[in-house]
Amino acid sequence: MTSRDPLLRFEGAARAYGDVLAVAGVTCSIAAGSFVALVGASGSGKSTLLKMVNTLVEPTAGRVLFGGEDVASLHPAHLRRRVGYVFQGIGLFPHMSVAENIAIGPRLTGEKLPDKRIAELLELVELEPAMGSRMPDELSGGQRQRVGVARALAGEPELLLMDEPFGALDPLTRDALGTKVRELHDTLGLTTVMVTHDMAEALLLADRVLVMDAGALVADESPRALLAGAGGEIAQGLVSVPRQQAERLAALEGVGETRR
Ligand SMILES: Nc1ncnc2c1ncn2[C@@H]1O[C@H](COP(=O)(O)OP(=O)(O)OP(=O)(O)O)[C@@H](O)[C@H]1O
């Protein structure tokens, strides 16, 4: 692989469940270092596409290449170490401490993560190292998601997959964690693919936005291009939501000004 090759490539990747074509043949390349948001209506195939990357879902046609190799040919434990995965509701093991949860990925590949490294990972997501000894049910939802991010980063992955990671959080925590993840993406030199229902979040955090509809990729644009009207009808329908909200807020502010 040369530095010009994409880190991730979908080649006609498709997944059927009986008669339902969840992903209908997606072809696209994701360059190393990019932050990609994957958006689209509920049921459009975003999670299925993401799960094909770490082999939680097998394609029924086509393939997914990671670093030039078909993911199906890579050892699952090693692949999952190179690919961090964060999802909503995070799935921390309730009977394990925060530190044990963070260390679980490397443990599966036979490595014991030193305490110092666990403390470092907690600091990376702005949690006190002392949190390591707590149990998951002693944390807030936002803190749990931070632990989820620390766990995904424990194996020093090249690729970070995030599936609605901040969906259940209050807006302030969501905003802070989104900004933190973008910062980590930049400082750690990650490649990130994030599924989100929130177009404003996609536009603000990502370099590139992929839009799915009924299993197909219908737009692939930069946030700037989307805001300038590119991407077609479905993409523009999604962009119109935060835009109209911003306009309504601006109008409200204007009303306040004239009343004062
Ligand atoms: N394990 C499964 N068995 C059967 N059908 C499935 C399965 N997983 C997904 N599907 C179907 O595949 C389609 C795509 O689902 P997917 O979860 O990928 O969509 P999504 O865009 O991530 O949705 P959401 O935004 O609601 O999470 C849906 O019609 C869904 O019902």
How much is the pLDDT for 215?
96
SS3 67: coil
Strand pairing report for 208-213 and 216-221: antiparallel
Distance from Cα 20 to the centre of ligand 1, integer Å: 9
ipTM at complex level: 0.97
Q: Indicate if ligand 1 lies below 6 Å from the C-beta of 42.
A: yes
How much is the pLDDT for 259?
61
Average model confidence (pLDDT) for the chain? 90
Distance from Cα 36 to the centre of ligand 1, integer Å: 20
Q: How far apart are CA 145 and CA 166, in angstroms?
A: 7
How much is the pLDDT for 78?
81
DSSP state of 57: S
- Upper half-sphere CA count for residue 47 (Cβ side, 13 Å): 11
How much is the pLDDT for 170?
81
Q: Indicate if ligand 1 lies below 6 Å from the C-beta of 43.
A: yes
Query: Is the backbone of residue 146 left (phi > 0), alpha (psi -120 to 50) or beta?
Result: alpha
> Which one of 47, 87, 166, 234 would you pick to mutate in the ligand 1 pocket, going by the greatest count of ligand atoms within 8 A of its CB?
47
pLDDT digits (tens, 9 = 90+) for 1-28: 545 579 999 999 999 999 999 999 999 9
Distance from Cα 57 to the centre of ligand 1, integer Å: 11
pLDDT digits (tens, 9 = 90+) for 144-188: 888 998 998 998 899 999 998 887 778 888 888 899 899 999 999
SS3 249: helix
Tell me: pLDDT of 238 over 80. yes
Q: Indicate if ligand 1 lies below 6 Å from the C-beta of 46.
A: yes
Q: Which CATH class is domain 8-253?
A: alpha beta
pTM: 0.91
How much is the pLDDT for 90?
65
Q: How far apart are CA 120 and CA 114, in angstroms?
A: 10
